[in-house]
Structure 1
């Protein structure tokens, strides 16, 4: 089976690290991903027992499907660091990784993910801010931002005119998505459209947003997802997007922004 037959425009149900280790060097142009955040390991925010606070009623109180989101921090950081090293091996000499994570304070210490990205060539930090939100905790201000690490190979360049964007992006959070932590379509559109990448990997594919946006820009995607539930969710979303776009004659991304 060729690389194209095995991986291109496929969502692979499996462990991301295992699957990436089976892929050949420099086979991708771009990685766009956001891993599970190990939120159940966070202290003081209501995530451990679901008693309330800012997470009351949130889908993430139940955790991710098929993921252990309560790993010891050192184990979690090592896992993510190993994943990033594989992503970096897979991108071409003009490729890049856009790695989305969240900074947080844990027991009075800042977790800025340096233990994850420690020896990787970070070129830039992008802040993306969620519009709106509700804060039920009177002890601190409403958390509204996440961090994207741009980790490129040396020859990576943005698409023409994309460098006019600033490094703080504001997008509305996805509200009509069954996944507990979906990417905003507009956020992934900003990333993919800012590159000339033709083969795009998301090793934590979730509900399939990276694939949908890649299709909308006529790019190829590769998805890896541990949860069979999320694989099914993503496949259904992709197929629905294809069918509806064919009927109406819109590119898939435009349609999905309207229906989802």
Structure 2
């Protein structure tokens, strides 16, 4: 093969060309069905916030200590398309299956920002995300101090933060000067969002702009915040969402963002 032919073939096989049909869209379906369709090493960065499995919790401030629940806490109803009340063992196994697929599609210089929440179960703190990420290359845990929170239980203080696991492939590096952000991020929650657990655009944007990623994936994109953040940052993106309702919400928010530009 001549050098010109080699360079032409190499250009054709860039991630943008191998997954071009995926880019800039929210694809409806279970991420465990969709992720295997992506080529290995085709994604630069994954930013995602999965369901926390909160509905089966005995604490978390969604209950009042007498068996009642705070009626305005939307998360007690789960999500459209996902009950959020799996037995913990099944939930961990499911999330680890997703984790394996996410790591497969990442490039060797890629990374995953994985948002989760430590919670109370049976009166004790449960860190399910530690079990989900066990054995994966967790490089750092970032504290997202979101301000505010729900706590209807007098047994513990109002929770005001969540965690983001930075899980990185061997060659991953932050963008220049991004390390100055530190590992505690003060970013307020989004209040005007139809999703019961909205991921703030500003938070997704911080993750994305802290890297040199060209293609960003969110396999559980919810209301579309990661897609909007990627467009603000000038990056290409792929979204996946099991719920047709949230897919519609995400598409409407993305379209509204584009019209506002």
Two-structure CA RMSD over aligned residues (Å): 1.9
Paired residue for 2:159? Answer: 143
Classify the secondary structure of the residue corresponding to 2:146. Answer: strand
Partner of 1:199: 215
Q: CA deviation at 1:22?
A: 1.6
Confirm whether residue 167 of structure 1 aligns to residue 165 of structure 2.
Answer: no
Partner of residue 64 from structure 1, selected from 79, 96, 99: 79
Segment drifting more, 40-49 vs 20-29: 40-49
Contact 1:46 1:52 in 2 (8 A): no
1:85 equivalent to 2:100? Answer: yes
1:1-60 Cα distance to aligned partner (Å, 9 max, x none): x643431111110001111012110000000001011111111357589x755x431222
Q: 1:1-260 maps to which residues of 2 (within 5 A)? A: 3-45=18-60, 47=62, 52-53=68-69, 55-112=70-127, 113-133=129-149, 135-245=151-261
Count of residue correspondences: 243
CA distance, structure 2, for counterparts of residue 137 and residue 103 of structure 1: 16
Q: Deviations over 1:203-253 (max 9, x none)?
A: 1000000000101111011000000000000001111111121xxxxxxxx
Q: Report if aligned partners of 1:207, 1:231 keep a CA contact under 8 Å in 2.
A: yes
Question: Aligned-pair distance for 1:202?
Answer: 0.3
Q: Name the stretch that deviates more: 36-45 or 104-113.
A: 104-113
CA contact (8 A) 2:19 2:42 kept: no
CA contact (8 A) 1:40 1:48 kept: no
Instruction: Give the deviation of 1:143 after TM superposition.
Output: 0.6
SS at match of 2:55: helix
1:133 deviation in Å?
3.9
CA distance in 2 between counterparts of 1:176 and 1:126 reads: 25
Q: 3-state SS of the aligned residue for 1:172?
A: coil
Distance 2:18 2:188 in 1: 36
Alpha-carbon separation, structure 2, partners of 1:85 and 1:200: 17
Calculate the TM-score normalised by the size of structure 2.
0.88
Equivalent residues of 1:35, 1:204 under 8 A apart:
yes
Equivalents in 2 of 1:102, 1:132: separation in Å? 14
Q: TM-score, length-normalised on structure 1?
A: 0.88
The answer for unaligned runs of 5 or more in structure 1 is 246-260
Cα shift at 1:109: 4.3
